[in-house]
Amino acid sequence: MKLYCLSGHPTLPCNVLKFKSTTIMLDCGLDTTSVLNFLPLPLVHSPRLSKLPGWVSKDGTINLEKELKECAGRVFVDSQPEFCLPERELLDLSTIDVILISNYHCMMALPYITEHTGFTGTVYATEPTLQIGRLLMEELVNFMERVPKAQSATCWKNKEIQRMLPGPLKDAVEVWTWKRCYSMQEVNSALSKVQLVGYSQKVELFGAVQISPLSSGYSLGSSNWIIQSHHEKVSYVSGSSLLTTHPQPMDQSSLKNSDVLILTGLTQMPTANPDGMLGEFCSNLAMTIRAGGNVLVPCYSSGVIYDLLECLYQFIESANLGTTPFYFISPVANSSLEFSQIFAEWLCHNKQTKVYLPEPPFPHAELIQTNKLKHYPSIHGDFSSEFRQPCVVFTGHPSLRFGDVVHFMELWGKSSLNTIIFTEPDFSYLDALAPYQPLAMKCVYCPIDTRLNFHQVSKLLKEVQPLHVVCPEQYTQPPLSQSHRSDLMLELQPPPMPYRRCSVLNLPFRRRYERVYILPELANSLVPSEIKPGTSVATVSAVLHSKDNKHTLQSVPKPPPAPPTKKRKRVIEEPPVVLAPKPLLSGAVPLEAFLATLQKHGISEVKVEETADGHILHLQAEDTLIQLEEDGTHIVCDNNEPLRTTLRDLVLRFLQKL
Amino acid sequence: GCFLLLWYNSQLCESNECSFIFNTYLFPLQGAGQDVGRSCILVSIGGKNIMLDCGMHMGYNDDRRFPDFSYITQNGRLTEFLDCVIISHFHLDHCGALPYMSEMVGYDGPIYMTHPTKAICPILLEDFRKITVDKKGETNFFTSQMIKDCMKKVIPLNLHQTVQVDDELEIKAYYAGHVLGAAMVHIKVGSESVVYTGDYNMTPDRHLGAAWIDKCRPDILISESTYATTIRDSKRCRERDFLKKVHESIERGGKVLIPVFALGRAQELCILLETFWERMNLKAPIYFSTGLTEKANHYYKLFITWTNQKIRKTFVQRNMFEFKHIKAFDRSYADNPGPMVVFATPGMLHAGQSLQIFKKWAGNEKNMVIMPGYCVQGTIGHKILNGQRKLEMEGRATVRKLSFTFTLTFFLLCNLDVKLQVEYMSFSAHADAKGIMQLIRMAEPRNMLLVHGEAVKMEFLKGKIEQEFSINCYMPANGETTTVTTNPSVPVDISLNLLKREMALGGPLPDPKKPRTMHGTLIMKENSLKLVSSEQALKELGLNEHQLRFTCRVQLQDPHSDPDTLHRIYTHLKSVLKGYTIQHLPDGTVMVESIVIKVSSSAEDPNTKVLLLSWSYQVTFLRC
């Protein structure tokens, strides 16, 4: 069993597991941090961005002023932003049988895999994962296609040139494999390959492996996966949470007894407490509004935003913000808010109870009804006429490189009254802000990452006790910035097996058994004998049939009766006579009892001689020797078949047959 | 009416012979034969007892309306006799007796139902309770608190989720169509399994999708058979017919009454009329009698994932359950002049608002009543559908038919002439004969069992099923006992070494003409069955092998030296025994496969050689 690691990003994994002749891709994460190297895509013409100076190397030998622009001492690529894809050379991706998706953040690379590699398999995901994943992809495509950029910068990727560029561009890896965003057509085609599954549903793959998603508590429909056969079990843990937010709680007990547990998607903010961050978010928001400023919250259109809105629902009245407009701007804002209300099965208990009343599970329905929260597909259209300040705007993309957020950065960046509050943990906020410097607006960093922290995960692992743990190498050492914090890493016995991008791991697995089905007819013919208390054995002679990875044992068919007439002279090919092999023997032959048995069968003239290991019996009348020892019996006689057979059967009476 | 109690037993005998014995007891409650009444089935499989549905009969108002649980136990609580209870959908003939069973008879184990059923079922139960106790003053009935306590025992079931009730018993729910949240359930213990369909529908309609199940090959498929003989024409035709009738009536200034139950068919017909009104730009008002309706529509909005694909796809742009043309009804509207369409509850015209409106409109031949579903015997709906044109309104006799939606008191004690047009449109979402056959094709059961239908129709279907699928079809009649034998195979863990050795020998495809036999030892210890090679079996059991060897002395005359004799034997055997491994070893032995041959000469006569042939008990290919 092998694990191919196609992504080095610990929270956006993409691994391929080869297990019992099936090839299973675990998640399909798209590393979007590469877009931080690009200039933002403004929705309306930005004089500031268009006036940025082009980049020329200090000695003047390299002139890339058309491709690279300089802003506040950093260099950015002026081109359509590109993403860092999972590794495509490590193995032939067309051989992948299935792709298992654990949550909607971990499927963003799906079109790249399913559409351009010859993939012909099936993708498995839960319904919320599919629906919300579709929204996020749709949003991404919309953000990109809304402001098409003719230019596609490639010169800077030249190895010789890249070497000369200032950091972080110089250190960017695999830049030649970076790709532009996919189209909506590719998204639709990719998602048409998704097969929906429910939690704890057991899906058979080719009769060899069974897969089953488990609730992981991180987001709507998020799952961990169990991949198992009758005798081996691999658990795949991706983004999971033990906090009580909106999703169904994490199913921990089903992870027990794993041979291998692949652990990914731990919190990216191990030192930031989500509850504390939420409090800080609210107080900063209130402070800015009271001072007459606007609040900008760059965020994804699904996920933590539901919790933020729920938190604000309770906070608004007490903080006297009842008249402040809250705007949610995204091409999928409406869909996201509507979809969140229809997944009762996938919600925590409290929210399910509300649906039974029947009331919408999330209070943002009420915020919308009372006009406190308004949502718009973009800043164009109705929004521009209805927009009032000061206000709070939730909009994407959290990288600040594309989407409506770019507009608000340009609009509000110059005033120190305004505040930008970062809640998404995926991007470094300093890097995100870099192309907007110098900036007057206040920046608050409250990353909310509800995924498991190191303390929770070590407790979990103690509980479920996998034999082996595989994890990204980042989890096996403390973060670079806090190298003294040994509590910010996984310490396990045996130590976890680390992987990085392009690793191929041999998983420590010893398969010893396989399931086989004995058909009733054969089962009825077996003769078990008790060999010791509670343990019986039966010898089995059967015909093995293997089909679709299912093995059955049938009775041996009786040889067909010989043709009754032999009128025609024909050489009948004798089928090779299949003689059942004789069983192995066990036990010992007791001397006295054996002598008695011999006597019964008319053999009375026996001379017994003691030897070092047992006895030698001389059957004088028959001129035969029988050597009886603890672990063997030897019958020596002349060519007398009937006698030998009799003696053999007498000996066998005392032995167990296996 | 009937109550079906089904015992279904299986046990693994010592010799791994498995059999199902299952007895069916049917307790007639009213007259004879099967008809559509209440559902409550007890299945016993692999030592587990499962109650499927816990319905009440709408035709009774005494003890007979509830199943007789004393068949399970005479002394009180059911908890220790049942492993779980599964409710297929929220109709009261499937869940109406649940609080009675769990709170009054006593059951504290798990009760499974889907989320929508869990949401809607307590509302219908409470409504039903109010009518029975508050309006009719009956006692010995469950209370509001009992409904709440009962619902606390409910564990919600998701579609396709495999729920492990305990270590051996697992259940899995499938989409059944019929009503919002309706489920079929696959129950499995070891390698034996049963599928119970509840009520289901194999054709998608305007608001729900079609039932679906995978090829789970259950030992028994228990299917409803309400429409056992009907093969309904296409849905489109029926819909067109329905719209045409409504339209014609409206055009001539008539009023149309459509008696419905608040949840289910009502939503489908509303969607149908709503789109028709929109398209034809019609102005005549459509009303929906209040009560559960608004709430009902809200459930449909929140459980939109349980509706059909089209509604699910477009719900963000346009929620099909927000109606523009359909308004809430007030009882005073019934006397308004001009045409109108009214949806009123309940559906069988046995009480409440629908019956009140019916009486007001029955005398005018311009009006029309459309019955969109099945009507239980004894209801006005049943009577008028059978062509009865003069109705005796017996007041209390009529109200005895239970409703779960509306007021029951009325005082008419007179004859009523029915002049309005009576139309029947089968919109009721049950599978028809074609649908039932389709489900059998999907699930591929080994045996079929029909319930919840009328005897004559079931007999017809039984014949068809047996003919087309060559499987046994049971139709439990009153007190009949049926025995079904199944033969599950026995799962065993085979050592990979043994399996691989075997596969390597034979290649992946077994040749049916040349069966190859494999040999091994089956070790049965506690609950595990392991098949290993004999050598491994010895090792695993910690036993020593006992070698049984034979040596045979053969004398022959040969003048050569001992080594020469041996070599001559070797050369001879080589030429005679083709295809065997024959070796001449340096230690002065010849081996034919594992048979050892040695030569020695007797001391007295060097020409007399003694041949020692030695072999072990396991040697089978040669007889010496």
The verdict on B294 and B387 lying in the same domain is yes
Is B323 a residue whose pLDDT tops 90? Answer: no
Same domain, B158 and B76: yes
B3 lies in a domain?
no
Asked if residue B474 has pLDDT above 80, the reply is: yes
B165 confidence band (pLDDT: 50, 70, 90):
very high
For a pLDDT cut of 70, what percent of chain A falls above it? 97
Domain co-membership, B214 together with B243:
no
At residue A136, the pLDDT reads 97
CATH code at B587?
3.30.310
What pLDDT score was predicted for residue B483?
Answer: 65
Position B3 confidence tier, pLDDT thresholds 50, 70, 90: very low
Q: Which of A360, A540, A552 sits opposite B519 (nearest CB)?
A: A540
- What's residue A392's pLDDT? 97
Is position B227 within any domain?
A: yes
Which pLDDT band holds residue B401 (cuts at 50, 70, 90)?
A: very low
In a domain, B591, yes or no: yes
Count, in order, helices (H) and strands (E) of chain B: 16, 30
Please tell me the pTM assigned to this model. Answer: 0.85
Same domain, B127 and B198: yes
> Which DSSP string do the residues of A428-444 spell out, in sequence order?
-HHHHHGGG-S--SEEE
Tell me, yes or no, whether B529 lies in a domain: no
Residues of B in contact with A352 (CB under 8 A): 115, 156
> Among A525, A529, A522, which residue's Cα sits nearest to residue A543?
A522
Across the interface, whether the CB atoms of A513 and B520 are under 8 A apart is answered no
The two three-digit tokens of residue B279, written as one number: 């398209």
Residue B222 and residue B248 in one domain: no
> A236 is written with which tokens?
């795949």
pLDDT tens-digit readout, B420-472? 989 887 766 677 888 899 999 999 999 998 887 777 888 888 999 999 999 98
Share of chain B above pLDDT 70, in %: 82
Number of domains in chain B: 3
Cα-atom radius of gyration of chain A, to the nearest Å? Answer: 36
Longest dimension (CA), chain B: 137
Instruction: With a cut of 50, say whether residue A125 has pLDDT above it.
Output: yes
Both B184 and B289 in a single domain?
A: no
The pLDDT of residue B384 is above 60: yes
Residue A125 phi/psi, 5-degree rounding, is: -155, 160
Tens-place pLDDT, residues A181-215: 999 999 999 999 999 999 999 999 998 899 999 99
For residue A542, what are the β-bridge partners? B518
Rounded Cα gap, residues B224 and B458, in angstroms = 10
pLDDT at B396: 39
B224 in active site? yes
Specify if B511 maps to a domain: no
Give which of B517, B533, B608 to mutate to test A binding, by max A Cβ within 10 Å. Answer: B517
One domain, residues B353 and B226? no
Closest Cα partner for B40 from B58, B53, B22? B53
Verify that B210 and B314 share a domain, yes or no: no
**Cross-chain CB nearest to B517 (options A231, A538, A556):** A556
Question: Which residues have a Cβ under 8 Å from the Cβ of B211 and sit 6 or more positions away?
Answer: B174, B175, B176, B177, B178, B184, B197, B200, B201, B202, B431, B435, B439
Give the model's pLDDT for residue A35.
96
Q: Looking at the predicted structure, is the pLDDT value of residue A236 above 60?
A: yes
- Same-domain status, B101 and B222: yes
**Average pLDDT of the segment spanning B248-268:** 85
* ipTM associated with this complex: 0.85
Domain boundary among the residues B470, B486, B502 is at B486
Say yes or no for a CB contact (<8 Å) between A344 and B115.
yes
Q: What is the pLDDT of residues B222-238, one digit of tens each?
A: 988 877 666 666 667 88
Mean pLDDT for B398-426 is 55
pLDDT at A455: 94
Q: Do B26 and B172 have their domain in common?
A: yes
**Residue in this structure with the two tokens 């049988």, named with its chain if needed:** A97
Tens digit of pLDDT for each residue in A486-515?
889 998 888 999 999 999 999 987 778 888
Q: Which residue from B163, B510, B543 is facing A200, i.e. has the nearest CB?
A: B163
Of the candidate ranges A302-316, B3-17, B216-230, the one whose mean pLDDT is the lowest: B3-17
CATH of the domain at B328: 3.40.50.10890
Q: Chain A closest CA to B471's CA: distance in Å?
A: 19
Q: What percent of chain B has pLDDT above 90?
A: 27
Question: Using an 8 Å Cβ cutoff, are B63 and B105 in contact?
Answer: no
Q: Tell me if B539 is assigned to some domain.
A: no
List of chain A residues whose C-beta atoms are within 8 Å of the C-beta of residue B118: 356
Q: Is residue B73 part of a domain?
A: yes
Same domain membership, residue B465 and residue B607: no
Residue B419 to residue B460: CA distance in whole angstroms: 36
Residue B429: predicted pLDDT? 66
DSSP state of B361: H
pLDDT of residue B568: 87
CA-based nearest residue to A39, from A24, A54, A26: A54
pLDDT surpassing 60 at residue B11: no
Dump pLDDT digits (tens) for B90-106.
988 889 999 999 999 99
Cβ atoms of B121 and B143 within 8 Å: the answer is no
Mean pLDDT of B27-36: 32
Secondary structure letter of residue B135 according to DSSP: I
Confidence at B4, pLDDT banded by 50, 70, 90: very low
Give residue B135's pLDDT: 61
Question: What's the sign of the alpha-carbon dihedral A87, A92, A93, A98?
Answer: negative
- Confidence band, pLDDT 50/70/90 cuts, at residue A577: very low
Structural domains of chain A ordered from first start: 2-32+83-266+466-506 (3.60.15.10), 274-445 (3.40.50.10890), 585-657 (3.30.310)
- Region B378-383: mean pLDDT is 81
Record the tokens describing residue A187, joined without a space. 């998204």
Mean pLDDT, chain B, integer? 80
Q: Is B491 part of any domain?
A: no
Cβ contacts from A onto B, under 8 A = 259
**Spatial separation of the C-alpha atoms in residues B209 and A367, rounded to whole Å:** 33
B464 in the same domain as B335 = no
Angle (deg, nearest 10), helices A184-191 and A127-146: 170
Average of per-residue pLDDT across A538-546: 85
The pLDDT value given to residue B60: 67
DSSP A247: B
Res B403: pLDDT? 34
A208 CA to centre of own chain: 19
Does pLDDT of A447 surpass 70? yes
Residue A362 has pLDDT above 70, yes or no: yes
- Distance separating alpha carbons of residues A522 and B518, to the nearest angstrom: 13
A634/B521 touch (CB, cutoff 8 Å), yes or no: no
Taking the CA of residue B132 and the nearest CA in chain A, the distance in Å comes to: 23
B126: CATH: 3.60.15.10
Q: Which domain holds residue B267?
A: 235-403+411-424
